[in-house]
Amino acid sequence: MTTNASAPTQVTERRTVDVPGRSPILSALQEALPLPVHDGGNGNGARRVLSPKRPAVETAGLADAFPYYAGFSFDWATSCISNTQLKGVLTVLDPWNGSGTTTLAANTLGHSVVGLDRNPVASVVAQLRCKVPMNVEPIRFSSLRIRASARTQNDPLNYWFDDITTARIRAWTSHLEHASPSNRTMGLVAAFRAVRSLTKHFEGSNPTWVKRASENEERLCFTHSEIDEAFFSEQVFLASRLSSVPRTSASVSLLTADSAALPLATNSIDIIVTSPPYLTRIDYAVAYARELAVLGIDVFSEKTLRKALMGTTLTRQASMTPSLLGPMAEALLSDISQHASKASSSYYMKQAKQYLNDLNSGLRESARVSKPGAEMHLVVQDSYYKDVLVPLAEICIEEAKRYGWELQEHEMFPVKRLLTTLNTSARAYKKGDVSESVITFTRRKHD
Sole window of 137-145, 233-241, 290-298, 308-316 interacting with ligand SAM (rule: CB under 6 A):
308-316
Q: What is the largest CA-CA distance in the chain?
A: 71
Strand partners, 414: 435
Q: Is 119 in the site for ligand SAM (CB under 6 A)?
A: yes
Q: How many CA atoms lie within 13 A of 317 on its CB side?
A: 1
Q: Is 71 in the site for ligand SAM (CB under 6 A)?
A: yes
Q: Is 103 in the site for ligand SAM (CB under 6 A)?
A: no
Which of positions 258-277 make contact with ligand SAM (CB under 6 A)? 258-260, 275-277
Pick one of 192, 222, 232, 284: the residue that binds ligand SAM (CB under 6 A).
284
Q: How many CA atoms lie within 13 A of 55 on its CB side?
A: 12
d(CA 26, CA 268): 35
Is the CB of 121 or the CB of 227 nearer to ligand SAM? 121
Sole window of 68-76, 143-151, 212-220, 328-336 interacting with ligand SAM (rule: CB under 6 A):
68-76
In the complex, least distance from residue 274 CB atom to ligand SAM, rounded to whole angstroms: 7
Is the CB of 227 or the CB of 396 nearer to ligand SAM? 396
Q: Is 306 in the site for ligand SAM (CB under 6 A)?
A: no
Q: Is 1 in the site for ligand SAM (CB under 6 A)?
A: yes
Is the CB of 191 or the CB of 309 nearer to ligand SAM? 309
Number of other CB atoms surrounding residue 176 within 10 Å: 21
Pick one of 75, 117, 335, 409: the residue that binds ligand SAM (CB under 6 A).
117
Burial class (CB in 10 A: 0-12, 13-18, 19+), 319: middle
In the complex, least distance from residue 282 CB atom to ligand SAM, rounded to whole angstroms: 9
d(CA 238, CA 241): 5
Number of other CB atoms surrounding residue 265 within 10 Å: 9
Task: Say if strands 370-381 and 269-274 run parallel, antiparallel, or are unpaired.
Answer: parallel
Pick one of 66, 76, 96, 192: the residue that binds ligand SAM (CB under 6 A).
96
Q: Is 99 in the site for ligand SAM (CB under 6 A)?
A: yes
Size of the site for ligand SAM (CB under 6 A): 24
In the complex, least distance from residue 410 CB atom to ligand SAM, rounded to whole angstroms: 18
The helix/strand/coil state of 32 is coil
Q: How many CA atoms lie within 13 A of 146 on its CB side?
A: 20
CA distances from residue 432 to 106, 246, 283, 392, 423 in whole angstroms, order as listed: 36, 44, 24, 15, 16
Is the CB of 168 or the CB of 290 nearer to ligand SAM? 290
CB 319 within 8 A of CB 357: yes
Using CB under 6 A, list all residues that contact ligand SAM.
1, 68, 70-72, 96, 98-99, 101, 116-119, 122, 258-260, 275-277, 284, 308-310
